[in-house]
């Protein structure tokens, strides 16, 4: 099996960001590749902002986002 898994390195441990189909104590070989924010295509990321939202949800979010009073402490 070959699978690409994203993980975070914290306190000396690689922590997968999603469930992975491994048995307890199963040995695997890891190939590490840095994910540099600058190398990510910002337009590709932006194209997924509204993924899985209904039209109603999108309209509601945009109404809130465009309402400047939501960001004022007055």
pLDDT digits (tens, 9 = 90+) for 35-66: 776 556 777 777 788 888 999 998 998 898 88
Residue 64 is assigned to a structural domain of this protein: yes
**Alpha carbon distance 45, 57 (integer Å):** 19
Residue 65 is assigned to a structural domain of this protein: yes
Residue 2 is assigned to a structural domain of this protein: no
Residue 1 is assigned to a structural domain of this protein: no
Nearest by Cα to 32 from 61, 1, 8, 68:
8
Give the structural domain span for 27.
7-71
Q: How confident is the model at residue 11 (pLDDT cuts 50, 70, 90)?
A: very high
Q: What is the mean pLDDT of the chain?
A: 84
**Alpha carbon distance 29, 25 (integer Å):** 13
Residue 19 is assigned to a structural domain of this protein: yes
Residue 67 is assigned to a structural domain of this protein: yes
At 40 the pLDDT is 63
Host H or E run for residue 46: helix 42-46
Count structural domains, the chain. Answer: 1
Residue 49 is assigned to a structural domain of this protein: yes
At 13 the pLDDT is 92
Name 54's bridge partners. none
Phi, psi of 8 (to 5 degrees): -115, 140
At 57 the pLDDT is 92
């Amino acid at each position: 099996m070959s699978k690409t898994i994203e993980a975070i390195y914290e306190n000396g441990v690689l922590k997968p960001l999603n469930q992975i189909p491994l048995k307890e104590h199963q040995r695997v070989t890891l190939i590490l590749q840095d994910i540099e924010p600058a190398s990510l295509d910002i337009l590709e990321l932006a194209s997924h902002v509204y993924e899985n939202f209904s039209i109603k949800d999108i309209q509601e979010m945009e109404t809130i986002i465009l309402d400047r009073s939501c960001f004022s402490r007055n």
